[in-house]
Amino acid sequence: MSTKHITSGRSLKDYLSSVINESLKSKLQTQALREEENQQLMSSDNDDEDTTAMKKGDIKAEDVIEKLNTIRSGKSFKDEEISGKMQKYVTGLEQPERVALLAFLKAIAQIVTGEIESQDVVDPSKPPANIQMKKSSAGKTVTVKPTIVKAEKKGEKKPSSEDTSGPAPIQPKK
């Protein structure tokens, strides 16, 4: 421990400022460590709950909404690290799983952006995805078998079923 000689009001002020700053830094570091521990505990608890719910097939809308909010509060998908991990994850999926993922995400995007009413969003079981989920006799295993739509021949163009019109104007409440 070093000895500090206080010879003036200025040196007293400087000394007290440094003591206060060091104290605040220490308190903030302690709080940050506690918060990180709490987040890790909550994360592991949620993972256990999620795993149990998935095994039982007991998924509620609230569970999905919670996961979507977790995604929204996370890092940007434009972040190099996140983008790389997503690339690895998506390319590691089987082709039918990628089709299912995109179909579900498109429907969620349509709901969240208010693009169309929830009853009119993309139905993954209809074209172009044609995802058919089948439960095994045990009722736990789910397989995805989409019908893959082949690429169009050159020169052929099919009309798009997607509504590309602009958004409806916002009307003030009366």
Q: Is residue 132 part of a domain?
A: yes
Q: Is residue 79 part of a domain?
A: no
Helices marked H in the chain — which ranges?
A: 9-56, 61-73, 80-92, 95-113
Residue 35 pLDDT level (bands cut at 50, 70, 90): confident
124 burial class (0-12, 13-18, 19+ CB within 10 angstroms)? buried
Q: Is residue 51 part of a domain?
A: yes
Residue 5 pLDDT level (bands cut at 50, 70, 90): confident
Q: Which helix (H) or strand (E) holds 144?
A: strand 142-144
Residue where the block lists tokens 């995400």: 105
Do residues 48 and 96 share a domain? no
Mean pLDDT is lowest, of 78-82, 118-122, 126-130, 146-150, for: 146-150
Q: Greater confidence, 10 or 140?
A: 10
Percent of the chain with pLDDT over 70: 77
Mean pLDDT along residues 13-18: 88
Total number of domains constituting the chain:
2
Lookup: tokens for 51: 């795993």
Q: Greater confidence, 168 or 150?
A: 168
Q: Is residue 70 part of a domain?
A: no
Q: Is residue 103 part of a domain?
A: yes
Do residues 55 and 99 share a domain? no
Please give the mean pLDDT across all residues of the chain. 79
What does pTM read for this prediction? 0.47
Domain of residue 136, residue span: 89-148
Bridge partner residues of 134 (DSSP): 143
* SS3 label, residue 115: coil
Residue 54 pLDDT level (bands cut at 50, 70, 90): confident
Q: Is residue 20 part of a domain?
A: yes
Do residues 47 and 97 share a domain? no
Q: Is residue 162 part of a domain?
A: no
Please tell me the predicted confidence (pLDDT) of residue 88.
Answer: 95
